Structure 1
Amino acid sequence: MLSPRGRFHFHGDPIGLPLRHDRQMQTWTGPRDQGARHQSEVNFPPARCLFSDNAVLPTSLPRCSMSGKTASCYCGQLRIEVQGEPLGIGICHCLACQQRTGSVFAALASFSAPYAVVGTATEFVRTGDHGSQFRFRFCPVCGSTVFHTEEGEDSRVSVAVGAFADPTFPPPRVSVYEHRRHAWVNLPAAMARYDTDPA
């Protein structure tokens, strides 16, 4: 898993942690608390508009120009705008990412703050192989995972590459958890590869 710091940090394979559900609505006010919540819904505050003037938007969303890159869920309810070039782009084949995405690997790009989020997200917190906790945000309407952060690390965000819906997005440079890669998945020979966590 590409950590929000721009290097790879693996969530690894599922370790069977019990989950607690907290359905109470919360308002985003800054860094998330360090509690043991594993699932909750968060309403993000109104932020600057994230879509360009020619974007196809639900009628309830405003139109304006954007200067960064915007990723969104399928229905457009949850959106994140990032600035600048990615710090790192990679794919992860761990079983947790396969289950989380419903695909055979996760493709992620890490960006520096600042970033802006609009919409309501359901959150899921997962503990990685080395004890770090990662907070995944996905749309409670269509279910698309859009982005995640590492607990205690507010200066970076990792965004699902597919959420940009941009076939010209730069290719991944690193592939991790190669020992979990499906045999039929072929990757460029020049890509850096790691069997597990390179850290």
Structure 2
Amino acid sequence: MNESGKRHTGGCLCGAVRYEAEGEPDLCGHCYCADCRKASGSGFIPFMGFSSRAVRFTGRTQQFRSTSWRGTEAVRNSCPVCGGLVFGGEVGKDDSHTIYAGSLDDPSAFRPTVAIFTRGRPDWATIPPGLAVFETLPE
């Protein structure tokens, strides 16, 4: 177990894709980028970022690849059975993974601190008070 003893578990709607993340997330917040809005069908995606060393995944995923704002490849993983969006990043390749907070077993574990990619945010997608706001990513 990690130093903090925290363990976050979750998965897709049907349970075919599961994860376990240990420790505190490196970054936790809302992403308002156009890709996240379209992927979620909402105004933002609530996310938790973890080192790849801290996360274990089970189950087969369907991947969608697109170009990130940096020009690199972004990978989103969904369940091929129920279609639930679960996490970002390529297992075995990326140094970190983004867990989509809506997939948490215990939603109270999500404590956002930042709002990222707010530069193109629609007016109706409000930013909760108290979050640090960044037009792109924090430096």
TM-score interval (norm. to shorter): 0.7 to 0.9
Q: Give 2:24's aligned residue.
A: 85
Q: Deviations over 1:61-81 (max 9, x none)?
A: xxxxxx832120001010111
Matched, 1:191 2:131: yes
- After superposition, the Cα gap between the structure-2 partners of 1:190 and 1:100, relative to the gap in structure 1 and judged at 3 Å, is same
1:133 aligns with 2:133: no
**Percent of aligned pairs sharing the same letter:** 32
- Whether 2:88 is the aligned partner of 1:171: answer no
Q: Any idea what SS the aligned residue of 1:146 has?
A: strand
1:146 aligns with 2:89: no
Q: Secondary structure at the match of 2:110?
A: coil
Task: State the TM-score, normalized to the length of structure 2.
Answer: 0.83
TM-score by length of 1: 0.60
Task: Tell me what 1:109 maps to.
Answer: 48
Cα drift, residue 151 of structure 1: 8.9
Mapped partners of 2:72, 2:91: distance in 1:
7
Q: CA RMSD in A?
A: 2.2
Are 2:101 and 2:110, in contact at CA under 8 Å, matched by a contact in 1?
no
For structure 2, which runs of at least 5 residues remain unmatched after alignment? 1-5
Change (3 A) 1:164 1:128: same
Q: Which has the larger radius of gyration?
A: 1
Aligned length: 133
Alignment of 1:6-155 (within 5 A): 68-112=7-51, 113-149=53-89, 154-155=94-95
The answer on whether the counterparts of 1:132 and 1:151 sit within 8 Å (CA) in structure 2 is no
Greater per-residue helix proportion:
2
Alpha-carbon distance, 1:198 to partner: 4.6
Listed as ranges, the gaps of 5+ residues in structure 1 are: 1-66
